Amino acid sequence: MISKSIALDVLNASLSSGGDYAEIYLEETLSSTFSLENGKVESVGTTLSYGAGIRILKGFASVYGYTSDLSRKSLLDLANKLSSSFQGERIIKVDSIKKEKVKIINKVIDHLDQVKPEEKIAYLKQCYEITKSVSPKLVRIADSFSSYRKKIELFIAEASEAKQFENFEERGRLTMMALASGENGSIETSFSGPGRYDGWHYFTDILDYKKKAKEIGEKAIMMLNAKECPSGRYPVVITNGWGGVIFHEACGHSLEAAATAKHLSVFSDSIGEQIASNIVSAYDDGTLPNEWGSNNIDSEGHVTQNNQLIKDGICVGFLVDKANGRRLNMEPNGCSRRQNYRYAPTSRMSNTYIAKGKDNPEDIIKDTKLGIYVADFGGGSVEPSTGEFNFSASEAYIIRDGKICEPVKGCTLIGSGKEVLMNIDRVGNDVALGQGMCGSLSGLVPVNVGQPTIRIKEITVGGRGGKLE
């Protein structure tokens, strides 16, 4: 996107006031969205965006700026403006740039932007017809397919020889939503959003989209007749896959260096300490081929890694980026991410999950005499500094005598990350991942959350259905 000579000049301008690290992040992104509302095309859009961000570090201090003008003059003006934030003599002069080879772990065969619009629209209409056929009580069905293809160029100077990286990202996501209306005026919704770092063949030949389209309709209808969830302290069994969103929100963010390095996390000083039940291990793995949250390199040019966060209940690591690694005296471990060039990178999760255990999911249910089974989550809120959370379950059931029984609505789980981790007493062998978008300091990024079926031996359950009996 820019020549090495321009990059060399910009890096040296960035380092003119004593900075000890400088980076130029450039990207070009082609994105598209196809949306249907009740089977009719609502919107079709394709956008091309590009720009550059420049970051300078000096010790623990950092400064960042961006521009959509990639001319030499514009980039130099930005670099000089940013470098003026520091006062000092030059300590690094960049003499040359070496292009680094990037290992491709996410291979895409059939690019999503090359699929004809008519084919994508026909695909979404098929999803709509399947969902619609479930019941006439489904009054609103929204289907969409979004994708982007991103080219990234990165120049990094930390010594006299700078490094150049080139990377590509390509992701697609199918989202389906169904809204059901009952005779008593009740309204229930169901949602599914499978995504992948992959091509069109995944969505047509591998993903069972017909099954998912039917399921969202069935779930919305089922919840219309659900009773209010009882409240109290009960055992709760949480399904695999998307159930991992609690770990992601209440625990995962608290293990990012963006929080731990500044003592904004309940786990800031927890390396080597027990923070979970001894049957719990957890990872963040950015190397899983073609997974939604995976990448070849991170936003700082580091190779993505499989980082273990918890081992047998012991905290063994954080997710560490360049800037926060300096505060922690830790090396970066391939987890620096950003939404686009408008954001400075920081430590972020990729594919974060609780590892599989030894229990069969069926046995976990059978071993629960009275409790709640959570099959899906809606929204929630988390306080990162304490790990305290409040999550609503969009699909939940009563467990009676080891069997999943009647559905309930209005179920809320209330607790803290520390409490949840320590109170997990059963871990299944059925790990699965669920796709979502995570918002934080560096914008919105695609992530996988995951876990096997787990049981929390006791947690506060909120609801308006009285006491569980």
Q: Please write the tens of the pLDDT for every residue from 275-305.
A: 999 999 999 999 999 999 999 999 999 999 9
Do the bridges between strand 351-354 and strand 443-451 make them parallel or antiparallel, or are there none, so unpaired? parallel
Across residues 421-428, what is the average pLDDT?
97
Are 412 and 392 spatial neighbours (Cβ–Cβ below 8 Å)? yes
Q: What is the pLDDT of residue 70?
A: 97
* Half-sphere exposure in the Cβ direction for 268 (13 Å, CA): 15
Q: What is the pLDDT of residue 378?
A: 86
Residue 420 has pLDDT above 80, yes or no: yes
Q: What is the pLDDT of residue 84?
A: 97
Query: What is the rounded CA–CA span in Å between residue 129 and residue 38?
Result: 9
Q: What is the pLDDT of residue 382?
A: 85
Supply the mean pLDDT for the chain: 96
pLDDT, tens digit, for every residue of 88-109?
999 999 999 999 999 999 999 9
Query: What is the rounded CA–CA span in Å between residue 467 and residue 425?
Result: 23
Q: What is the pLDDT of residue 156?
A: 98
Query: What is the rounded CA–CA span in Å between residue 226 and residue 409?
Result: 6
Q: Is 209 helix (H, G, I), strand (E, B) or coil?
A: helix
Please report, for the chain, the start and end positions of each structural domain, with discontinuous segments joined by +: 4-224, 227-462
Query: What is the rounded CA–CA span in Å between residue 133 and residue 405?
Result: 26
Query: Could you tell me the pLDDT band of residue 362, with boundaries at 50, 70 and 90?
Result: very high
Query: Could you tell me the pLDDT band of residue 183, with boundaries at 50, 70 and 90?
Result: confident
Are 83 and 16 spatial neighbours (Cβ–Cβ below 8 Å)? yes
Largest CA distance in the chain: 74
More confident residue, 55 or 387: 55
Point out which residues pair with 31 in neighbouring strands: 47, 148
Q: What is the pLDDT of residue 421?
A: 96
Beta strands in 323-410 (DSSP E): 336-337, 346-347, 351-354, 370-383, 388-400, 403-409
Across residues 164-185, what is the average pLDDT?
95
Query: What is the rounded CA–CA span in Å between residue 159 and residue 141?
Result: 55
Across residues 319-332, what is the average pLDDT?
98
| Assigned architecture for domain 4-224 | 2-Layer Sandwich (3.30)
pLDDT, tens digit, for every residue of 106-151?
999 999 999 999 999 999 999 999 999 999 999 999 999 999 999 9
Are 148 and 437 spatial neighbours (Cβ–Cβ below 8 Å)? no
Residue 15 has pLDDT above 80, yes or no: yes
Residue 351 has pLDDT above 80, yes or no: yes
* Residue at 365: amino acid letter: I
Query: Could you tell me the pLDDT band of residue 177, with boundaries at 50, 70 and 90?
Result: very high
Tell me phi and psi for residue 294, to 5 degrees.
-80, 165
56's enclosing H/E stretch is: strand 40-58
Across residues 202-226, what is the average pLDDT?
96
Residue 384 has pLDDT above 80, yes or no: no
Query: What is the rounded CA–CA span in Å between residue 131 and residue 350?
Result: 31
28's enclosing H/E stretch is: strand 21-37
Which of 286, 297, 289, 285 is CA-nearest to residue 100? 297
Query: What is the rounded CA–CA span in Å between residue 289 and residue 350?
Result: 12
Q: Locate 351 and state its tokens.
A: 């594919």
